[in-house]
Copies of this chain bind each other. A is one copy, B any other.
Amino acid sequence: MLCTSLAVFRQFLRREGTKSVLDAIDVAILAELQKDARLPNKDLAARVNIAPSTCLVRHRALRERGVLKGYRAEVDLGALGRPLQAVIAVRVRPHTRAVVRPFLDYVMELPETISVSHVAGPDDFLVHVAVADAVHLQQLVLDSFTSRREVAQLHTNLLFEHRVKARIPPTAQARSD
């Protein structure tokens, strides 16, 4: 009885477009694909203990629901001639929509940029960059940032080590098992 009503409730949530209901198998699939996005469907199915065809349906559903946004190859920055990383904290003036969006677009176009965050805090933007060496970093800061009129203040933080997590778990509220 309880099981039935829970199942009905889940279906209701899914029909309503709620993306946040993931059962144990969905979570396992997401974990495996975060570790290796190229894992063959057969192997993926074996790891999460379901049939390959079921796995295919689940995988496709996760994509269509927007839970899986894409698959990206991770490239060694040193091999690209960019062994040095930094986070450049930028404060712009004025901090208006007319300045923020063009600045984001501009920064994303720079070949050195890996990612940009627009943040609420003493600084307005955190720009993660990868460069060849200290000279390159200096050129980037001077030529591409401080030379711009809207850049009011800037702090450059050299990056010693950068760790990215291979598996981000859902919160308890986003699970249904």
Contacts and interface: CB of A to CB of B under 8 A. Distances in A.
Contacts of A132: 171, 173
A70 B74 contact: yes
Select the residue from A130, A168, A174 with max chain B CB neighbours within 10 A: A168
A63 to B, nearest CB: 10
Nearest to A21: B79
A30 interface: yes
A121 interface: yes
A69 interface: yes
* Chain A interface category by residue count: 35 or more
Contacts of A158: 119-121
A142 interface: no
A118 B159 contact: yes
Interface in A66-81: 66-81
A47 to B, nearest CB: 14
A114 B168 contact: yes
Interface of A: 19-20, 22, 30, 33-38, 65-82, 87, 104, 108, 111, 113-123, 126, 130, 132, 136, 155-166, 168-174
19 contacts: A19-B76, A30-B73, A35-B72, A37-B37, A37-B71, A67-B76, A67-B80, A69-B74, A70-B74, A79-B170, A80-B170, A81-B174, A82-B171, A104-B163, A111-B168, A113-B165, A114-B165, A118-B160, A119-B157
